[in-house]
Amino acid sequence: TIKTMLNVQVMFPEGEYFDQVKVNELYLTTLNGPITILGDHAPMVTILDIGVCSLKIENNWKSFVGVGGYAEVIDNNVIILMRDIIEIKDKAIEDVMSEIQQSLSSLKDAKTLKLKMEAAQEIRLKTMILNALARER
């Protein structure tokens, strides 16, 4: 059977990240948790959280970390507006694991609530980068 493709456009303040790319499947991290969008999905608008975004293009996953925004799905067209995008293509799992360990040490050593919150946010972001790397493997 032929699956319906999605036309996906991903934008963020610096410009377009993807422009009308044809996608078999789309994985997004919303405020309510992860969702998968396939062809002929019901119309919807959702708020995106910090997390993994993956596009399945010709059976290969292209992933990145999105930093908030929203997605709109109408008639197999998906528009994603992100506050920011973190590329993972030049990152190694070992390096990200080391960065997480450093952030855990910073959290442990933090003396103020502000420093603790910053370290916790950094751990969350690095964990999302690790998850995005895992999706592409």
Radius of gyration of the chain (CA): 16
Residue-wise pLDDT tens digits, 27-76: 999 999 999 999 999 999 999 999 999 999 988 899 999 999 999 999 99
Q: What percent of the chain has pLDDT over 90?
A: 79
Q: What is the model's pLDDT at position 1?
A: 55
Q: Which residue has the higher pLDDT, 76 or 16?
A: 76
CB 56 within 8 A of CB 39: no
